[in-house]
Chains A and B, each alone.
Chain A
Amino acid sequence: MIKKNIPGLQIREKTRIQHLISWLAPFLGLILVLVIFSLMPEVQDRFLRISNFKSVATQSVIVALGALGMTLIIISGGIDLSAASNIALSSVIVAFAINAGIPPVFAVLCGVLTGGFVGFVNGSLITSLRLVPFIVTLGMLGIARGIAKWTAGNQKIDAPLSWVNELMARHPSPSWLLMAPGVWLMILLAVVMAVVLRYTVFGRHVFAIGSNEATARLCGIRTNRTKIIVYSVSGLFCGLSGVMQFSRLTVGDPTVAIGLELDIIAAVVIGGGSLRGGEGSILGSMIGVFIMAFLRNGSTMMGWPNYIQEIIIGAIIIVAVGLDQLRHRRE
């Protein structure tokens, strides 16, 4: 009753609670998944082991790197359906380059840059042709996959083993690393991206474009340039993800990661990203990635058939987004 007389206070309190909830919601999901599996008698002693957490972290790197870029794109109001094809293409390029006798460092660089180039093309087409991102990246999904198969000669490429293949080893070679170098890279890049999104001008511009592109343009933001950067950066992440994919498979496989773009998008959406743009966070997306990875890990350990885990993940996507919508409507 008293509060009603002081609207400012009410609003402030409300927003604080809302902040807390939207920040906590994805965490709750992750904790729920962890709790459920650690209560299963068949696996509880094994599920909570550090070695299991380490391997889930390693398994998550590929999707997580893709999700870092995808978060950026989704916040800007776009979408990238070509992410998985881009990952496959980059991994094939790395294998191809190593096979051609190029030193691994440059091969890795080639892979990452290939990813970045695909992203750049996406961004340029979207801005110059004024096409919807959905269409452009849908086209690129086919183009990148096709080029990957072409480069690999419709085969997988067996490349000689090198240090690149140690990036994703479950037992890293200097044992003081504790986790695969790829996992550390993922954590580092996640932190960097979170900071970029929150504290830099570029990051704020991305949010502005996603919230209302016309207004953003009127405010003097160079929307086209920003969008091209967004897609290019996202492409670089896909390239890096491709390097990790190659590292894990030890072969360049053009048919790898088919449909992975949907996992990546699901992770971002579970983590609070809105397909209407202007919303999303790196932390949320990372939690989305881990929710799915732990579900997969737990279901496999339980020996559940695949269709159960597919149904569960599908349900989680709908529930997560449904709750998010509910929250918005109340605001």
Chain B
Amino acid sequence: MKILTKKLLLLSIGFCMLFLCCGEKEDGDMQQERGRRLLIAVIPKGTTHEFWKSIHAGAVKASRELGVEVIWKGPQKEDDRAQQIIVVEDFINRGVDGIVLAPLDDRALCRPVQDAVRESIPVVIIDSGLQGEDYVSFVATDNYKGGVLAAKKMEELLGGKGKIFLIRYQEGSASTTKRENGFLDTLTAEFPNISLLVQDQHTGATTESAFQLAENLLGRFPEVDGIFCPNESSTFGVLRALQESRLAGIVKFVGFDSSPKLVQALQQGHIHALVLQNPLKMGYLGVKQIVYHLRGHEIETLIDTGVYLATRENMDDPDIKALLEPDFSSYLDR
């Protein structure tokens, strides 16, 4: 028993020494550096989707141009509101100079943002909206417009009539809900000959759950003519289901966002159109806005980063190509 205690004690002392040594070595440079560089926390909704990697790349790009330091950290569990609140609080405690936040919930993140403002840490909101007026600027895609664009393309693809699925992403996610609404409103107002077989099924957060949902729906409604999905994970999940049931290319499919797999499917004609945002620009402008604000410049309170439509025909245009296959190897290691 005594031996065990001794071992434990030695181990812990060893650990302490180790960290002490590391600590002393770095202390000098770090302090100097901290003296002049602004520290910006960028908090995405998750870290595994391609979309967030582009945002990350944009944030890194801005940090290099402006000479600031960026910490990139998402909630521990993808799309977990409670975890994101914890991340914001921890960065307030760290005493960062500014926060760029993509809120998972337009309401639940209000209080943490108020807390930040109370500690005089300004916040820029990107991607999804937040209730209240506590942030200094909002940089986002006009998601509703993206949905409208998708609906118009769907009508064109179907030649004006058909039966379609509107597949929803996740309960309470503001940005995707706006896309779904834009799509739905345009459809009901302008294209009465297109009917909806499904319009209230949510895929949940992962590709896997979207895959399963789509398989079940395709099994039940094999007569479907078109499908719209409001984000990357749902688009990919549904694509997989279409490919598995050999309906890919036959069912007109309009998706949202891009990833290498989706681009490949666009090329093969499995996806007929992708609505694109400009996440690189969003990450870039998010960091730029907060830094300009911190340096005392006037900044715009609302910036639309635009929506674009990629099809097989225009996918080689340099502008669209840059959005479809953003090259951020120079900004991120992986």
Which residue numbers of A lie inside 8 Å of B, CB to CB? 14, 17-18, 21, 25, 28, 31-32, 35-36, 39-44, 46-47, 49, 51-52, 55, 58-59, 62, 149, 152, 154-156, 158, 165, 169-171, 245, 248-251, 253-259, 296-297, 300-301, 303-306, 309-310, 323, 326-327, 330
Q: Which 7 A-B pairs have the closest CB atoms?
A: A303-B71, A156-B172, A300-B90, A52-B93, A301-B94, A249-B108, A39-B19
Give A239 to B163 CA distance when docked, in angstroms.
44
Q: Is B202 an interface residue (CB 8 A)?
A: yes
| Nearest CB on B from A64, distance (A) | 14
Q: Is B320 an interface residue (CB 8 A)?
A: no
* Chain A residues within 8 Å of B16, by CB: 32, 35-36, 39
* Chain B residues within 8 Å of A165, by CB: 111
* Chain A residues within 8 Å of B4, by CB: 21, 323, 326-327, 330
The answer to whether A300 touches B87 (Cβ under 8 A) is yes
* Chain A residues within 8 Å of B80, by CB: 256, 258
Q: Is B1 an interface residue (CB 8 A)?
A: yes
The answer to whether A250 touches B76 (Cβ under 8 A) is no
A330's nearest neighbour on chain B, judged by CB, is: B1
**Segment at the interface with A among B23-31, B247-255, B285-293:** B23-31
The answer to whether B171 touches A254 (Cβ under 8 A) is yes
| Nearest CB on B from A325, distance (A) | 12
B79's nearest neighbour on chain A, judged by CB, is: A255
| Nearest CB on B from A186, distance (A) | 16
Give A231 to B21 CA distance when docked, in angstroms.
49
The answer to whether B82 touches A248 (Cβ under 8 A) is yes
Q: Is B37 an interface residue (CB 8 A)?
A: no
Within 8 Å by CB of A249, from B5, B94, B105, lies B105
Give A156 to B79 CA distance when docked, in angstroms.
14
B30's nearest neighbour on chain A, judged by CB, is: A41
Give A170 to B47 CA distance when docked, in angstroms.
27
The answer to whether A256 touches B81 (Cβ under 8 A) is yes
The answer to whether B93 touches A49 (Cβ under 8 A) is yes
Known: A40-B19, A300-B87. Contact between A62 and B171, CB under 8 A?
no
Known: A154-B171, A255-B170. Contact between A41 and B105, CB under 8 A?
no
* Chain A residues within 8 Å of B171, by CB: 149, 152, 154-156, 254-255
The answer to whether A253 touches B30 (Cβ under 8 A) is no
Find the residue from B86, B93, B107 having the highest chain A CB count within 10 A: B93
Within 8 Å by CB of A17, from B1, B85, B89, lies B1
- Taking A31-B12, A49-B93, A248-B108 as known contacts, 15 extra A-B pairs with beta carbons closer than 8 A to each other, sorted by chain A number, are A21-B5, A32-B15, A32-B16, A39-B16, A39-B19, A39-B20, A52-B93, A171-B115, A245-B82, A251-B107, A257-B82, A297-B86, A300-B91, A305-B72, A305-B73
* Chain A residues within 8 Å of B27, by CB: 41
| Nearest CB on B from A280, distance (A) | 20
| Nearest CB on A from B93, distance (A) | 4
Find the residue from A28, A46, A306 having the highest chain B CB count within 10 A: A306
A interface footprint on B12-53 (CB within 8 Å = 1, 0 otherwise)? 100110011011001100110010000001000001000000
